[in-house]
Amino acid sequence: MSIRALQAKIFCNHNTLDYLWQTHCVFHQRLPEMLAILFNMYRGQAGSTAKQRDLYQRIARFILSCPAQNAPYLLNAVSIPKWKPNSAKKYKVKMKDATGQTVEVTGEAWADEAVKLLSQKTLLYDKAKLLGNLPSCMQQIVSREAVAVISGHHALIELWQTNHEQWCQDKTKWESDTEHQLYLALRPRFDAFEQSVGGQASKRRGRWHLYLDWLKANPDLAAWRGGHPLVHPLSEDAQKRIKKAKPWKIRSVEAQEFWKANPELYALDRLHGEYEKKFVRRRKTKRHIDGFDHRPTFTQPNPVHHPRWYCFNAPQTNPKGYCELQLPTAADRFGRVQLQLITGNKAQSAEYPSAWVPIAFRADPRLAQFRECSIQTTYGKGKAKGNTKTKSAYEYFDAHLQQWRPATISSVKLVFRDIRLNPDGSLKSATPYLIFTCDVQDLPLTDLAAKIQWSETGQTTKAGKPRKNRKLPDGLIACAVDLGLRHVGFATLCEYNNLQCRVLRSRSIHLDAQSTGPDLANLARHKRKLSQLRQLRGKPIPDEESHIHLQDHITHMGEDRFKKAARAILNFAWNTDQTKSKITGQVLPRADVIILESLAGFIPDAERERGINRALVAWNRGQLVERFKQLAENYGYKGRVFEIPPHGTSQVCSKCGAWPPSIPYAVPLIPGSPTYTLAGWKNYLPVQLANTAPMPTTMPRLIYIADSF
């Protein structure tokens, strides 16, 4: 399912805003009570006997391993007398045992013991007393959110423990190296020098004149690997280069010449920098006792500083949190919904007053693409099993495919922004929003894509994984994309038949944008402007950011670029513009599979040209590929997006058709016959259609689809 979180701004009066804020605050008042109970259970501190504490601990571990939506039912096992364990026994979760091994556990491991304890009228807590004065919907959300908070915290701790163990192993391995041990023997002298001058040899130590002077004054450091204790002076050419350098580059040029003249000291300095960066990590303000990252700490939810947003259950959920949803019919129209809100403070030992409050909102334009409809379903259980019934549902209009797709609108989240409080703690002003969780059903694989088969070869890859061969069905349509540097890329649509490839269509993928659009030139211009502004600002204050709006603008431009690029590639693969073949006159088919270049570790020299930021280009390409994979899963390409090495692509001249010596064959061209192109930036590859000679097996991989697989 493709999940979309669509935002809607609430328009309401002061009374309704107070009701929304009251609901938000009451939710945060009751959440810590449930968190304390779960923590006590998990730590083995709940229960009057050792047997009870062990049981509650196993129950807590099971609950925290389950999805959060199961929490209200599972917590009833310790809070209500008449709990039924039938569903709990069917739940299966994976959790770690006492030895650290991952095992699969069901609720049968503790359900019967919990029922036996309940039959003795022994409750860990009374749900009616703890949460009984809340609306039924909020009771469920409090339990669910408490489990979600602790589960997220435990996930962070497990990740930290895994990374910490790996870091300790890497440190031990690094320190066990013979050459590294020679450096570690000299390391106390580096520390003593830093303390004597009152500074730290950080990442700029190579241009620190005191650091270089200290190295020159200690020639024995040059003999750290058994060489001669000698520091070579700078040559005349090096001194001339230093004199010609600009004033602000003198120290940098001097350091470069010093390292060239003294390679042994340079090797020692490299080891010192590597050890400082990986294992000492002085720049980390919050560190573990051994130098690693600080262990994650638990933060108690707070309605203002650390909020957890309250969710309203969908109408199809029991109990429901919202109803009578009226979606906007256009982007500039209002929508309406009724929310169950707390409308005041509770009296002593009484329930919180609640009511259904109508809310008007103006939503994300995409929410107007949903509409309510009716669908036919069958009963899955009970006496009416197999009978059909009619229920309400939603559809989403896909503007790119021009078709309605099945969808659902589930929970609605209440979010506050720009919160301002009065001196007495009451709400002064805030901007409330609703976040609608919308799911659009994934499109299925094509018949040919589903027929792709894999077979074991008995060999393994360099990574140690089993190597497999693909068997492709005849007639398979593949879309190959050659990603570019300054532009998006070049895409080709090919048909695979009997180990031969026929090109159907190819064109450059570009983004139609204004002169201020998200292209690399504008992004680089903004980054240069940001660098200039920060230089004028001077030395930054620790933990203080500068020019936040411009930095956010650059980030949003980059995000806008790769999202639009991913959509453009997908539209080409689906042929959303209904392009017709120039030969047959028929509409070209959609692609069954998509092939992308695997650009891991591939950084062309062209990116180092002036005006192109290498990190920016690499970030956009990486984000583009990840975004495209996510988008492709929703459009019928789940598991059908393949990445291949980029070597051998875009190597034929687009003007003269010359082939490089590394490719021994060329496609014979017939005068007057139609040709297509495939390549990256200014490197177009003439390719003959299937009515001429077959394509050789040494063609670049993005062209010859059989070799690509």
Distance, in Å, from the CA atom of 74 to the CA atom of 661, rounded to the nearest integer, reads: 69
> Percent of the chain beyond pLDDT 90?
46
Residue partners of 309: CB distance under 8 A and separation at least 6: 413, 414, 415, 435
How many other CB atoms are found less than 10 A from the CB of residue 107? 24
Asked if residue 693 has pLDDT above 60, the reply is: no
Name which of 558, 493, 491, 498 is nearest 524 in CA terms.
558
Number of helices followed by number of strands (H, E) in the chain: 17, 20
CA angle 209/215/221 to nearest 5° reads 165
Please, is 297 exposed, middle or buried when counting C-beta atoms within 10 Å of its C-beta (0-12, 13-18, 19+)?
exposed
- Tens digit of each residue's pLDDT (9 = 90 or more) over 505-524: 888 887 766 656 677 677 77
Mean pLDDT, to the nearest integer, of 644-670?
Answer: 51
The DSSP line for 175-218 is: HHSHHHHHHHHHHHHHHHHHHHHT----TTGGG-HHHHHHHHT-
What are the strands, taking DSSP E only, across 267-345?
A: 310-312, 322-326, 335-342
Q: What are the CA-CA distances from residue 186 to residues 102, 181, 210, 260, 313 (Å)?
A: 44, 9, 18, 22, 64
Distance, in Å, from the CA atom of 452 to the CA atom of 239, rounded to the nearest integer, reads: 66
What are the strands, taking DSSP E only, across 298-353?
A: 310-312, 322-326, 335-342
Mean pLDDT, to the nearest integer, of 355-361?
Answer: 95
- For residues 363 and 8, the answer to whether their CB atoms sit within 8 Å is yes
Flag the least confident range among 165-169, 206-210, 405-409, 694-698. Answer: 694-698
- For residues 407 and 440, the answer to whether their CB atoms sit within 8 Å is yes
Asked if residue 39 has pLDDT above 70, the reply is: yes
pLDDT value of residue 700: 37
The residue that leads in pLDDT, 598 or 184, is: 184
What are the strands, taking DSSP E only, across 422-452?
A: 427-440
- Tens digit of each residue's pLDDT (9 = 90 or more) over 473-501: 889 999 988 887 667 788 888 888 887 78
- Tens digit of each residue's pLDDT (9 = 90 or more) over 174-203: 999 999 999 999 999 988 888 887 766 555
For the chain, domains (ranges, CATH) are: 201-280 (no CATH), 466-514+563-708 (3.30.420)
Residue partners of 175: CB distance under 8 A and separation at least 6: 181, 184
Query: What angle, rounded to 10 degrees, do the helices at 614-634 and 520-537 form?
Result: 130
- Tens digit of each residue's pLDDT (9 = 90 or more) over 43-62: 999 999 999 999 999 999 99
Distance, in Å, from the CA atom of 194 to the CA atom of 191, rounded to the nearest integer, reads: 5
Mean pLDDT, to the nearest integer, of 92-117?
Answer: 88
Write down the pTM of the prediction. Answer: 0.78
H/E stretch holding 262 reads none
How many other CB atoms are found less than 10 A from the CB of residue 225? 12
pLDDT value of residue 95: 86
pLDDT value of residue 543: 67
H/E stretch holding 349 reads none
3-state helix, strand, coil in the chain (%, to 5): 40, 20, 40
Mean pLDDT, to the nearest integer, of 467-472?
Answer: 83
